[in-house]
Amino acid sequence: MTETSELQGFYRLPMEKRREILKKATNLTDEEAGIIANTGSLPGDVADHMIENVVGGYTYPLGIATNFKINGKDYLVPMALEEPSVVAAASNAAKMARSKDGFRVTNTGPVMIGQIQVVSVPKPEEAKSKLLKSKADILKKANEQDPMLVSLGGGAKDLNVKVLASLKGPMVIAELIVNTGDAMGANAVNTMAEAVAPMVEQITGGRVFLRIISNLADRRLVRATAVFGKDSIGGEDVVDGIVYAYAFADADPYRCATHNKGIMNGVIAVGIACGQDIRALEAGAHSYASKTGRYKPLTTWEKNKEGDLVGVLEMPMAVGLVGGAAKTHPTARANIKILGVKSAIELAEVMGAVGLAQNFAALRALASEGIQRGHMKLHSRNVAISAGATGELVDLVAQRMIEEKKIRFDRAKELVTELSKQKMG
């Protein structure tokens, strides 16, 4: 291990040089350094410009979820993630949703909020009305920053002002309400918030500190619904089990965290595949889930008159097709083509449907056979690989562990030795 983490001028070096230093400092073998150097489909110079101190790349498997029918249109959904079962579960759920009408999704438009924090305001309530009176000028200034967005029908559309009681006394928060079109919009909104700050200071007589987008994107919601026919999902008992599972999540934040995590399994996997800011998606999801002051499920599940299961998902979905990695990452661009979405809201709607499908699949497994059986099948292959199995040995070792109900690293190692001896003999 390195003696110091202070690597003077590391950021200025070319990628190869950085890797050399890293290799020496952390005793990487040639093979390990070579693995890190591989940027996959991302050209090295693109990777080097996306973030700082780049030394290489990191690859996820890319799977395609099948069977999705959303608003009457079929989609093949790219998903990039490391967790077994997720792609299979999404495909399976989407197949069951087809027995009725697939997924129906609506959205509230690509609207984000930019916050400007004003402190030391002599008369906060008076400042609030002054700001609202100057709304037209403030919006004009904001829109001057992004003629491109405005020409496409987007831009700053409204101004909201609130007075917050805080640990440091009252502060005035001015909020730009911005239609960001096909962009996720963080850069666009932040630029606008910074540009109007001097004007806001002048009007309020206070001092501006923060000028930044809010990831609680509650004006950029998707609402996905699906009906799962009781006969296609295993009967009315399964329907009841899922409704009980939902009631559990609604009543208990410990269960709810895992309920919502299951939704994010799908949302984030599509997000990664399509080059989205997944931290923004997570922040939006969980803050929205807490909007009532209690952490709640992002989905609801009910039984309808016919005894079928009705699921509804509602959550923020701040995604874009222009800007960010959606534009710069060649794999993200190819995945967006596979998906065939033509706008940011269409991408958001697909991701909402996938989130709902994923939640259904997890709840169905939990409410019936339990999640481990399906999970362990795929997990056993990973255990076999980490114990050194390669080629056809992977499935042989995995199969034996499943039969023995012992999916463990130590057993996998024994089996690798035993079965490879048998193969050689």
Q: For residue 293, what are its two tokens? A: 């002051």
- Using alpha carbons only, give the angle 317, 162, 109 rounded to the nearest 5 degrees: 25
**What backbone torsions phi and psi does residue 313 show, to the nearest 5 degrees?**
-115, 135
Report in angstroms how near the CB of residue 146 gets to ligand NAD at its nearest: 5
Question: Does 261 participate in catalysis according to the annotation?
Answer: yes
Rg from Cα positions in the chain = 25
Residue among 212 and 402 whose Cβ is closer to ligand NAD:
212
Question: Treating both helix axes as pointing N-terminal to C-terminal, what angle do 30-37 and 15-26 enclose, rounded to 10 degrees?
Answer: 140
Active-site hit among 123, 130, 157, 261? 261
Residue with tokens 């009725």: 100
> Under 8 Å CB-to-CB from 388, ≥6 apart: which residues?
413, 416
Residue among 276 and 358 whose Cβ is closer to ligand NAD:
276
Report in angstroms how near the CB of residue 261 gets to ligand NAD at its nearest: 20
Q: For residue 361, what are its two tokens? A: 């699949």
Active-site hit among 48, 146, 182, 277? 277
Question: Does 6 participate in catalysis according to the annotation?
Answer: no
- Using alpha carbons only, give the angle 182, 358, 364 rounded to the nearest 5 degrees: 160
Which residues of the shown chain bind ligand NAD in the complex (CB under 6 A)? Answer: 146, 148-149, 152, 154, 180-188, 190, 213, 215, 277, 280, 320, 322-324
Active-site hit among 83, 175, 194, 250? 83
Report in angstroms how near the CB of residue 190 gets to ligand NAD at its nearest: 6
Distance separating alpha carbons of residues 44 and 272, to the nearest angstrom: 19
Report in angstroms how near the CB of residue 186 gets to ligand NAD at its nearest: 3
Please give the helix or strand (H or E) that residue 297 lies within, else none. none
Residue among 277 and 314 whose Cβ is closer to ligand NAD:
277
Report in angstroms how near the CB of residue 214 gets to ligand NAD at its nearest: 8
Residue among 182 and 308 whose Cβ is closer to ligand NAD:
182
What is the number of alpha carbons within 13 Å of residue 33 lying toward its C-beta?
A: 16
Report in angstroms how near the CB of residue 74 gets to ligand NAD at its nearest: 25
Distance separating alpha carbons of residues 9 and 212, to the nearest angstrom: 30
DSSP state of 290: T
Burial of 4 (0-12, 13-18, 19+ CB in 10 A): exposed
Q: Which residue's CB atom is positioned nearest to ligand NAD?
A: 323
Residue among 9 and 153 whose Cβ is closer to ligand NAD:
153
What residues are labeled active site? Answer: 83, 261, 277, 375
